[in-house]
Amino acid sequence: MALTSITFHELHHKMLALKKKREQQQLNGGNSNTSARVISGAQIRVQKDVTELELPPTIELQFDNPNDLLHFTVTIKPADGLYKGGVFPFSCEISEDYPIKPPKFLCIPKIYHPNIDLEGNVCLNILREDWKPILSLTSILLGLQILFLEPNPNDPLNKEAATELARDRHKFSTLVKRSMLGGYVGEVRYDQVLRR
Amino acid sequence: MAAFSPLTDPSIGPSLRSRGPFADPDYTPEFGSDSISESKILVIGAGGLGCEILKNLVLSGFRDIHVIDMDTIDVSNLNRQFLFRKEDVGRSKAIAASEFVMRRIRRGVRITPYFGKIQDKPKEYYRGFTLVICGLDSVEARRWINATLVDLAAEGDIVPMVDGGTEGFRGQTRVIIPTISSCYECSLDLLPTKRTFPVCTIANTPRLPEHCIEWAHQLLWPKNFPQRKFDADLEQHVDWIYDQALFRANEFGIEGVTRSLTLGVVKNIVPAIASTNAIIAASCCNEAFKFVTSCNPVLDNYMMYSGDQSVYSYSFCLEKKPDCPVCGSLAQDLTVPRFFTLQELLDLVAEKPKFQLKAPSVATSDRNLYLRFPEQLETLTRPNLELKLIDLISESEELLITDRSLPLSLKLRVRFTGDSERPKDSGNLSLIR
Ligand SMILES: [Zn+2]
């Protein structure tokens, strides 16, 4: 209700009526819990987002503490593409400012990927500059999966990998296979990420 | 010194004595004067806005003011946070501000400081205020106080909130009457998100000084110090980022990396402008004055001010969002027998035609009781379904229920009734009101 449609007089009456109702409730034996914490808007949003995720079987979530929905591991197991057969866990951290701020993702193993650097930083537009509060966790997780199906040489975080992908897709594919086995590409030794 | 009287005070007396054309029909000068003397106001934040607000409130005749702030005074605050002096550096803002106002501005007023977080105080603490004014720079704190006040309003105690905010030459004032007008959470999606840059630009093609700083901050720091978390309050940390950013800027021929810009980027701060704070604080206190005295209508309900390109101001009404997670569904009372299990509660709620839930998940403010998804959490929380509700939650504790079929969430306050032992022949739920 807009305040223009309500005079002060009415507002004060309304406030008084509510107060009376509450006193009545207390008389009737109801009591309010004085110590209970208030459920925050962030908590509601996270609970909705997490319990209503719609994920393909190639994406799994793992929580260390079932009472903490703000920290978890997401594992992507691509069923297709150059990274097929790999298992890619990411740590996820949702801040108390969610959904104003996007969640933070880091790839845990060291992998050879044009859009992921050796420290695990991910270049995905909706994780940073294109994040909007109306987006949900589902959209980010699907976005992460797409990075494995369609690595993008135009937004490089691992420059060597991006150059290789743009130049010779076949050779790039061989290097991806080698890196996933735990082998060297150039100077860097990557982590073994093949599904056992 | 004669006792202060709002009606004869040269500054506020005239506003109280003459009826405004839009004043409440019941308004009398005595009512306005008494209301202001009897009111109890809470100010959240004793920083740039808070100092102005405290001074304005006292000069407007308010006598019982409480102030909360968790920060201590930094030397960089002294240029605009005028209640503080050099010797106050390191002290609590709330305490120093209270002392200054009581000593220098008006004797006889009582200002009660609290040095700590708003979250330290129980919900009950907030029930006793006539009005809350926020001069905060944190979205999280605003969301918290907003949810708390909406919760109180659902129980019948309406404590309005006047929220001021500034960023550089811009600012806004907003009046929130919890459950009656739009709340802070209703318009959360309209908030500008933090200015961010694509990681790949930062990593490969920097063009702005900010790109160089973000490169050192986001990428280089975790790489060089994987074990150490960056702390923007530590001088050596900021210096390191500044040096690295400067080096990179030189490499790419980018100008403008300074230490203060570095601090601004890593702390995500926009320089505070003293005059913007003064304008917004004045507007907040005007609204508080009008609300408490009812001498004139309050702002309905949002005012924006922009002073960066000439001067522009505009006010409009933010509408309530029907599916607002905070004020869209107020906690409802539900009474169940003491012997009820969590499963029985969920069945009961699911059956109610009002709700029609399909696969509800339920939590308290700090524990997940049953989550339908993901699988791991479903397995972990499933044993709770068989437990007695009374062993899981305390009387009147709020439960949050989410479900795919609900556009938003459902909040329940469960009360218990009857015996804790299940009667022999109780398959039926007809006992339940
Ligand atoms: Zn709302």
Catalytic residue (one of B186, B200, B212, B324): B200
Cα–Cα distance between B263 and B127 in angstroms, integer?
Answer: 39
CB within 8 Å: A7 and B366: no
CB B102 within 8 Å of CB B87:
no
**pLDDT the model gives residue B27:** 85
Q: Could you tell me the distance, in angstroms and rounded to a whole number, from the CA of residue B178 to the centre of ligand 1?
A: 8
Q: Which two tokens stand for residue A172?
A: 């790039």
Instruction: Chain A: give the shortest CA distance to residue B103, in Å.
Output: 35
Q: Is residue B200 among the annotated active site residues? A: yes
Asked if residue A196 belongs to a domain, the reply is no
Question: Residue A86's beta-bridge partner residues?
Answer: A194
Own/partner long-range contacts of B101-109 (Cβ < 8 Å, ≥24 apart): B101/B54, B101/B55, B101/B58, B105/B55, B105/B58, B105/B59, B106/B4, B106/B58, B106/B59, B107/B1, B108/B3, B108/B4, B108/B63, B109/B58, B109/B62, B109/B63, B109/B64, B109/B65
Asked if residue A193 belongs to a domain, the reply is no
Asked if residue A38 belongs to a domain, the reply is yes
Q: Could you tell me the distance, in angstroms and rounded to a whole number, from the CA of residue B405 to the centre of ligand 1?
A: 20
DSSP conformation letters of B80-137: T-TT--GGGTTSBHHHHHHHHIIIII-TT-EEEEEES-GGGS-HHHHHT-SEEEEE-S
Q: Could you tell me the distance, in angstroms and rounded to a whole number, from the CA of residue B63 to the centre of ligand 1?
A: 31
Of B122, B326, B361, the CB nearest to A35: B122
- Domain span at residue A14 reads 6-187
Catalytic residue (one of A92, A123, A162, A165): A123
- Is the pLDDT at A10 greater than 90? The verdict is no
Asked if residue A195 belongs to a domain, the reply is no
A128 contacts chain B (CB < 8 A): yes
Number of domains in chain A: 1
Q: How many CB pairs under 8 A join A and B?
A: 207
CB within 8 Å: B402 and A45: no
Asked if residue A77 belongs to a domain, the reply is yes
Q: Which two tokens stand for residue A118?
A: 């050796």
Of A7, A129, A156, the CB nearest to B196: A129
Give A8's contacts in chain B (Cβ within 8 Å).
24, 294, 297-298
Instruction: Chain A: give the shortest CA distance to residue B418, in Å.
Output: 14
Confidence tier at A34 by pLDDT (50, 70, 90): very low
pLDDT in tens, B27-66: 889 988 999 999 999 999 999 999 999 999 999 999 999 9
Angle at the Cα of B278 from the Cα atoms of B273 and B281, rounded to 5 degrees: 120
Higher-pLDDT residue of B57 and A28 is: B57
**pLDDT the model gives residue B404:** 80
Of B175, B325, B396, the CB nearest to A36: B396
- Is the pLDDT at A5 greater than 60? The verdict is no
Q: Could you tell me the distance, in angstroms and rounded to a whole number, from the CA of residue B285 to the centre of ligand 1?
A: 23
pLDDT in tens, A114-170: 999 999 999 998 998 888 888 889 999 999 999 999 999 888 899 999 999 999 999
Asked if residue A194 belongs to a domain, the reply is no
Give A89's contacts in chain B (Cβ within 8 Å).
none
Give A125's contacts in chain B (Cβ within 8 Å).
198
**Which domains are present in chain B?**
13-191+272-316 (3.40.50.720), 199-266 (1.10.10.520), 332-417 (3.10.290.20)
CATH code: domain of residue A138: 3.10.110.10
Give B185's contacts in chain A (Cβ within 8 Å).
41
Of B143, B294, B404, the CB nearest to A41: B143
Give B297's contacts in chain A (Cβ within 8 Å).
3, 7-8
Residues of chain B below pLDDT 50? 430-433
Among the listed ranges A12-21, A92-101, B370-379, which one has the minimum average pLDDT value? A12-21
Confidence tier at A1 by pLDDT (50, 70, 90): very low
**pLDDT the model gives residue B165:** 94
Q: What is the pTM of this model?
A: 0.77
CB within 8 Å: B395 and A50: no
CB within 8 Å: B300 and A2: yes
Instruction: Chain A: give the shortest CA distance to residue B269, in Å.
Output: 15
CB within 8 Å: A40 and B365: yes
Q: Could you tell me the distance, in angstroms and rounded to a whole number, from the CA of residue B179 to the centre of ligand 1?
A: 7
